C-alpha cells in the first residue's frame, strides 16, 4: 500500500525551498532513532496519572465518558454511557418502520439502476420490505430459518436483509467475492434452508452447496427476478399475517450469523441478535444529533454489507434523518462522489491511500511535486502541534493555511466537497497519513471494532481533541479495558454471545468475568482514548526468543512510493524478514521519473536493482530505531500483489497472513531462509 509518495525522498531541503523555511525546520517523519518502531506492550503506560482518575468528559450531549481503575480487576477502564434499554419487542424491522413514520415521503435511498440514479422514499422502502417479507412467508420460510445471502452493496441488499429479519429469519452473510467452497461452508454451518445470490455467475457457484448441504431447500437469483417473484407470492399474504409474524420477533432473537474475515485464522460464525444491531443503530444518532439528525446531510455507502461494519452503518443511517446514497463500488467511487457529495463516508484505509496517491502522482516530481511535498509536511506539523500542545503555533497555522487553496481544497473537492465526518476502520491507518488529511481539512476520524462487537466499539466523534494515533473513546454503550498483557477487552450490549457451533472458540474468547478478549493489544490514556499497539496473533517470536510486533515495521516500509503491501515475517525463524509487493501505477510513474523502462513487466521490476534499492531505503528507515534482532534483515519483492482474486486478502481488505505464508513456503525455505552449510558455520 503506497502511502507517502517520496515525502521523505524529497527531503527537507526541497521542503525548505518550497516553504522558504529557515534552518530550524525538522521533518515530521523523524530520522532519529530515539523512537522505536517496535512497540513493546510491556513498556507502554496504561494512563498518565493515577491521581486524576476517575476522569469524566462529555463528548456527546449528556453522555459521559468515564475513565477509571476498576476496583475488582485493577485494570484501567473507560466507558461511554449509551441510551437506556430498548423494548423487548424491538427489532431491526422497527428501525425502518420508525423512519417511515417520521419521514415517510422523504428520500431514504438513492442508487443507480440501469445506469440512472433513482430514489426510494422511506414509505416506498418499507413497502418493498413488506412485499418481500410476505413472499418469504408464502414460500414457507419460518421464524428461525437460516438464509445465506450473497450480494454486493445495493438497495436490493437492504430490502432483502430487512425482509428476512422482519419474519424472524437468520441471515448468514456471504461476500460477493466468495468461492463455491466458501458458499457451501457458510450454508452448511448456518443450516440455511434458503440461498439467495445476486448474479447468474454467482448462481454457478452454488452447485457444491446444493449437493452437500442437506438443509438447503431453495436457491434463488436476484438477476433472474427473485425479488419480483417473492413480491408476486407475497400478494397471497395479508398485512395482518405479516404483522403477526413481525410481532413474534423479539430483541434478543438471533437475526444473523456474520462470518469473520479469517485474516488470522479460519472464519468463525458470529451470532448476532436484533439487540446488537438495534443498540448500535439507535445510540449513535442521539450521541451526534447535529450530524445525524440533519435531513440535509448525505452519506455514501459502498463497503460490502456482508461485513458487520457497513451493515451496522446502514442501520445507523436509517435510524437517523440523513439521506443514504449507495455507490456501485470502489471502481465507480470517484464519479459517485461527485453525485452524492456526501457529508459522511465510511471507508477503509486503502481508499484514503488511493486518494493520496492520485494527488501525489498528479503533482509529479517538478515544482508542483515540491509544493505538494511541502504541503504534506505543513499539514503533519500542524496536527503534530495540535496533538502535543492542544493548539498549533501561529507559524504552523499560517504555513498550513498557505497551502489550503493550492492543494488541500482540491483534495476535499475530490471527496465531494461537503465531508464533515469520514470514518476509517477495518484496518489500521498510518498515523502520518491521518495527520496529513486532518491537517488538510479533510475530516478523517479513525475508529476500532470487530465483527464480534457489531463493528464499532471505539470511535472519534466530531469535536474530540486530536490525539495522534488514537482510535478514540468507547462507543456509546461500551466499556473498554486493558487486561493482562495489554490486551484490549470489551463489554457492552452489542458484544456477541457466542460463535455458531463453536463452543471451544467461544470459551477461550471471554475472560472469567465475562469480557470479550479481542486479541488486540492497546493502551488507554487517562482521558479514555484508546491506542492500538499490536495484535497477539501477529506477534512474531523468533527462534532466538525475541518478541516482535510486525505492524509498525510494515507501516514504515509501506510508505515507500512504489510499495503496495508488506508482510513482516520471522515466527520461529532465525531472523526477521519481509515479503514486499509493488503498486503497479505508482511503479510506472517512478520508473519514468528515474529514466527507466516504465513498461517493464512486474517480474522484471521485482528483480530490478534500482527498484530494490528504493525499497531498501525504507527498510533501512524501519530498522533505524530497533535492535538487530528486531530488524528486517532480508526481503523479497514479489511480482504480484496480495488480492481477493488470489485468495490472499479478505473482502474487508486485510492480508491473510497464514495463506501468504503457505503460498510462499517454498520461496521462504529456499530463498529467504536458506540453510548455511557446515563450513559457513565454522567461519
CATH class of the domain whose range is 92-340 = alpha beta
The neighbouring-strand residues paired with 580 are 566, 637
pLDDT at 44: 46
pLDDT at 263: 46
Of 389, 376, 310, the residue nearest 345 (C-alpha)? 310
pLDDT at 434: 93
State yes or no: pLDDT of 562 exceeds 80.
Answer: yes
Q: Please indicate whether the domains covering 92-340 and 361-432+443-534 agree at the CATH topology level.
A: yes
What are the tens digits of pLDDT across the range 6-26?
433 433 343 344 344 333 322
What are the tens digits of pLDDT across the range 401-423?
999 999 999 999 999 999 999 99
Query: Which of the pair, 33 or 280, is modelled with greater confidence?
Result: 280
State yes or no: pLDDT of 536 exceeds 70.
Answer: no
Residue 336 CA neighbour count, 13 Å, CB half: 22
- Lowest mean pLDDT, pick from 31-40, 263-272, 327-336: 31-40
19-23 long-range Cβ contacts below 8 angstroms, 24+ apart: 19/374, 19/377, 19/378, 19/399
pLDDT at 541: 63
- Find the mean pLDDT for residues 397-403: 95
Of 63, 68, 223, 71, the residue nearest 152 (C-alpha)? 223
Residue 35: CB atoms within 10 Å: 9
- Lowest mean pLDDT, pick from 49-58, 83-92, 493-502, 510-519: 49-58
Sketch the domain layout of the chain as residue ranges: 92-340, 361-432+443-534, 540-674
pLDDT at 658: 77
Of 249, 246, 253, 238, the residue nearest 138 (C-alpha)? 238
pLDDT at 627: 65
d(CA 326, CA 424): 17
State yes or no: pLDDT of 3 exceeds 70.
Answer: no
Q: What are phi and psi of 547, to 5 degrees?
A: -90, 130
- Find the mean pLDDT for residues 622-626: 77
Of 305, 314, 322, 277, the residue nearest 91 (C-alpha)? 277
pTM above 0.75, yes or no: yes
Asked if CATH classification 3.40.50.12780 holds for the domain at 361-432+443-534, the reply, yes or no, is yes
Of 150, 132, 128, the residue nearest 141 (C-alpha)? 132
SS3 for 468-511 is CCEEEEECCCEEEEECHHHEEEEEECCCCCCECCCHHHHHHCEC
Residue 609: CB atoms within 10 Å: 8
Band of pLDDT at residue 46, cut at 50, 70 and 90: very low
CATH class of the domain whose range is 540-674 = alpha beta
State yes or no: pLDDT of 599 exceeds 60.
Answer: yes
- Find the mean pLDDT for residues 346-354: 86
Amino acid at each position: 500500500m503506497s502511502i507517502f509518495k517520496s515525502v521523505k525522498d524529497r527531503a527537507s531541503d526541497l521542503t525548505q525551498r518550497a516553504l522558504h523555511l529557515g534552518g530550524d525546520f525538522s521533518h515530521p517523519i523523524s530520522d532519529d532513532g530515539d523512537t522505536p518502531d517496535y512497540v513493546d506492550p510491556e513498556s507502554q503506560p496504561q494512563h498518565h496519572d493515577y491521581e486524576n482518575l476517575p476522569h469524566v468528559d462529555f463528548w456527546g450531549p449528556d453522555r459521559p465518558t468515564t475513565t477509571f481503575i476498576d476496583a475488582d480487576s485493577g485494570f484501567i477502564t473507560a466507558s461511554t454511557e449509551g441510551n437506556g434499554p430498548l423494548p423487548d419487542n424491538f427489532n431491526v424491522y422497527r428501525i425502518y418502520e420508525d423512519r417511515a413514520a417520521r419521514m415517510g415521503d422523504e428520500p431514504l435511498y438513492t442508487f443507480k439502476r440501469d445506469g440512472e440514479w433513482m430514489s426510494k422514499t422511506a414509505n416506498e422502502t418499507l413497502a418493498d420490505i413488506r412485499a418481500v417479507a410476505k413472499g418469504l412467508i408464502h414460500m414457507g420460510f419460518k421464524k428461525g430459518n437460516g438464509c445465506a445471502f450473497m450480494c454486493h452493496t445495493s438497495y436490493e441488499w437492504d430490502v432483502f436483509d430487512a425482509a428476512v429479519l422482519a419474519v424472524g429469519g437468520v441471515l448468514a452473510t456471504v461476500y460477493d467475492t466468495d468461492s463455491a467452497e466458501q458458499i457451501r461452508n457458510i450454508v452448511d454451518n448456518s443450516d440455511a434452508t434458503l440461498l439467495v445470490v445476486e448474479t447468474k455467475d454467482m448462481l454457478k457457484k452454488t452447485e457444491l452447496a446444493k449437493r452437500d448441504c442437506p438443509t438447503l431447500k431453495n436457491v434463488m437469483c436476484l438477476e433472474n427476478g427473485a425479488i419480483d417473484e417473492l413480491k408476486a407470492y407475497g400478494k397471497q399474504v395479508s398485512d395482518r399475517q405479516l404483522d403477526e409474524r413481525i410481532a413474534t420477533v423479539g430483541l434478543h432473537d438471533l437475526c444473523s450469523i456474520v462470518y469473520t474475515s479469517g485474516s488470522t485464522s479460519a472464519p468463525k460464525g458470529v451470532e448476532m441478535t436484533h439487540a446488537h444491531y438495534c443498540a448500535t443503530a439507535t445510540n449513535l444518532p442521539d450521541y451526534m444529533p447535529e450530524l445525524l439528525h440533519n435531513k440535509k446531510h448525505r452519506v455514501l455507502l459502498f463497503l460490502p454489507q456482508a461485513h458487520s461494519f457497513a451493515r451496522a452503518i446502514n442501520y445507523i443511517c436509517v435510524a437517523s434523518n440523513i439521506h443514504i446514497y449507495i455507490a456501485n463500488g470502489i471502481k465507480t467511487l470517484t464519479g459517485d462522489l461527485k453525485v452524492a457529495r456526501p457529508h459522511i463516508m465510511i471507508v477503509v484505509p486503502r481508499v484514503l491511500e488511493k486518494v493520496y496517491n492520485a494527488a501525489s502522482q498528479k503533482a509529479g516530481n517538478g515544482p508542483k511535486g515540491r509544493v505538494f511535498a511541502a504541503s504534506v509536511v505543513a499539514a503533519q506539523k500542524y496536527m503534530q502541534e495540535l496533538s502535543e500542545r492542544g493548539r498549533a503555533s501561529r507559524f504552523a497555522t499560517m504555513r498550513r493555511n498557505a497551502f489550503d487553496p493550492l492543494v488541500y481544497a482540491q483534495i476535499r473537492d475530490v471527496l465531494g466537497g461537503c465531508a464533515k465526518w469520514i470514518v476509517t476502520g477495518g484496518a489500521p491507518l498510518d498515523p502520518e497519513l491521518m495527520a496529513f488529511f486532518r491537517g488538510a481539512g479533510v475530516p478523517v476520524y479513525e475508529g476500532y471494532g470487530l465483527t464480534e462487537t457489531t463493528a464499532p466499539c471505539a470511535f472519534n466523534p466530531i469535536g474530540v481533541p486530536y490525539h495522534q494515533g488514537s482510535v478514540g473513546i468507547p462507543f456509546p454503550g461500551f466499556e473498554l479495558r486493558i487486561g493482562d498483557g495489554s490486551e484490549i477487552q470489551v463489554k457492552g450490549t452489542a458484544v456477541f454471545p457466542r460463535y455458531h457451533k463453536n463452543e471451544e472458540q467461544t470459551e477461550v474468547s471471554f475472560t472469567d468475568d465475562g469480557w470479550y478478549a479481542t486479541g488486540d493489544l492497546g493502551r488507554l490514556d487517562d482521558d479514555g482514548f484508546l491506542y492500538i499497539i499490536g495484535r497477539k496473533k501477529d506477534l512474531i517470536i523468533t527462534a532466538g526468543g525475541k518478541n516482535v510486533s510486525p505492524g509498525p515495521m510494515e507501516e514504515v516500509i509501506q510508505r515507500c512510493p512504489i510499495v503496495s503491501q508488506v508482510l513482516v515475517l520471522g515466527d520461529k525463524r532465525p531472523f526477521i524478514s519481509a515479503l514486499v509487493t509493488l503498486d503497479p501505477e505508482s511503479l510506472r510513474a517512478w520508473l519514468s521519473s528515474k529514466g527507466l523502462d516504465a513498461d517493464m513487466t512486474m517480474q522484471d521490476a521485482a528483480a530490478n536493482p534500482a527498484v530494490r534499492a528504493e525499497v531498501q531505503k525504507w527498510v533501512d528507515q524501519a530498522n533505524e530505531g530497533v535492535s538487530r534482532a528486531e530488524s528486517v534483515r532480508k526481503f523479497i519483492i514479489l511480482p504480484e500483489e496480495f488480492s481477493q482474486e488470489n485468495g490472499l486478502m479478505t473482502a474487508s481488505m486485510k492480508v491473510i497472513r497464514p495463506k501468504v505464508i503457505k503460498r510462499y513456503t517454498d520461496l521462504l525455505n529456499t530463498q529467504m531462509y536458506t540453510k548455511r552449510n557446515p563450513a559457513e558455520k565454522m567461519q
